[in-house]
Structure 1
Amino acid sequence: MCSAGGPIEVDLNDPLKDRGKKYRCNDCGQTFTGLGKHPMCPSCQSENVTEI
């Protein structure tokens, strides 16, 4: 039988929780926060983005 430890404490005010980077879409101009190696514009789904 497998068991886990107690509850996990998460501080929602932790400044490190927002680890995404800011990007601007080169196709539609939308700015957004993205994660990962290949962020995608949430507006037009383009991967043609630049970190700002």
Structure 2
Amino acid sequence: MCSVGDAFNIEVTQLNAKFYKCADCSNEFRGVGRKVVCPSCHSGNVSLMFKEE
């Protein structure tokens, strides 16, 4: 494995996070990106609740 530099130190709130709810386990979480996956059960069956301002 090859890497350059240190890891990024970015808060989720700095990335325009959106709030999602998992339809499989009812977990509510913040996520970013196009293919959001529930961090608890790893399901892709999530729905957008609202965008954090």
When normalised by structure 2's length, the TM-score is 0.65
Taking only the aligned residue pairs, the percentage that are identical comes to: 39
Where does the alignment leave 5 or more consecutive residues of structure 2 unmatched? Answer: 1-10
Q: Which 4+ residue blocks in structure 1 deviate beyond 6 angstroms? A: none
Q: Which has the higher strand share?
A: 2
**Residue 32 (1) aligns with residue 29 (2):** yes
Where does the alignment leave 5 or more consecutive residues of structure 1 unmatched? Answer: 1-11
* Structure 1 residues 18-38: Cα deviation after superposition (integer angstroms, max 9, x where no partner): 411000000000000011001
Alignment map for 1:3-14 (pairs within 5 Å): none
Distance 1:18 1:36 in 2: 9
Larger radius of gyration: 1
Structure 2 counterpart of 1:45? 42
Give RMSD over aligned pairs.
Answer: 1.8
User: Higher relative CO (CA 8 A, sep ≥ 6), structure 1 or 2?
Assistant: 2
Structure 1 counterpart of 2:7? none
